[in-house]
A = this chain, B = another copy of it.
Amino acid sequence: MYLIVVGAGDIGTPLVDLATAGGNEVVVIERDAERAERASRQYDCLVINDDATSKETLQDAGAERADALISTTDQDATNVMVCLLAQELSVPNIVSVVHNPEHMNVFEQIGVNTMQNPQSLIAEYLYRAVSRPSVVDFMHIGEEAEVFEITVGPDAPIAGRTLREADEADLIGGQTLIVAIERDGEGTPITPRGNTRIEADDLLTVYSGQGVTPEVTDVFGSSGDGE
């Protein structure tokens, strides 16, 4: 893939890291001389130290033959302008970071895919980390449902039972599914079956149709979780 990354800041830098590691041809546009120089030194990519809101710069970056452009600057207005120019240059796939949630519609209106409010995502992780420390990671599915990783507490009701026993004891409702089990820090999860026994300290991947509610997590988590 031929990819143009606009901005080599906090978000652009790991993005360039990922994209070059993935074997793509990457061109970075960064206005700040120092950042541009650093990116150029660190990654195997072409770095253009110029203003990406100029069509000429985008053309120099090869916008005409690019497969995608990702705009990561910290100014929504700059990102909008870059995306509009990229559209004019017919870049087939255009994605942008959006910082102010109010601007989400504007990007949709002009037909640009967006990374939904990254700071909110981080904020939610942080909030979960203090309100439900036993939940390690999570992902929203639709409006209510969630997939989440949870560590089984030593005193958890489910600890020591097989899935079948847990089911029979009505610990797991119909809308809850244990998808995978990580045990003893091994990288490869176990696919659970009816006779798989859940142990304390297991890291479970759980699907819950109701989301991460106390009812659901109480079965797995340590009793100390509060909201």
A residues near B (Cβ < 8 Å) are 1, 3, 10-15, 17-19, 22-24, 53-56, 67-68, 70, 72, 75-78, 80-81, 84-85, 87-88, 93, 95, 97, 99-100, 102-103, 105-106, 109-110, 113, 115, 117-127, 129-131, 133, 137-145, 147, 149, 174-175, 177, 179-180, 182, 186-189, 191, 203, 205, 207, 209, 226-227
Contacts and interface: CB of A to CB of B under 8 A. Distances in A.
Given A88-B105, A126-B15, A187 B142 contact: yes
Contacts of A125: 115, 118
Interface of A is mostly: mixed
Given A1-B130, A10-B119, A80-B84, 6 more contacts: A14-B122, A19-B127, A93-B133, A95-B126, A110-B110, A118-B122
A60 to B, nearest CB: 13
Contacts of A126: 11, 15, 70, 72, 95, 97, 115
Contacts of A133: 93, 113
13 contacts: A10-B119, A67-B226, A70-B130, A85-B106, A87-B109, A93-B130, A115-B122, A139-B147, A139-B149, A142-B186, A142-B189, A147-B147, A188-B209
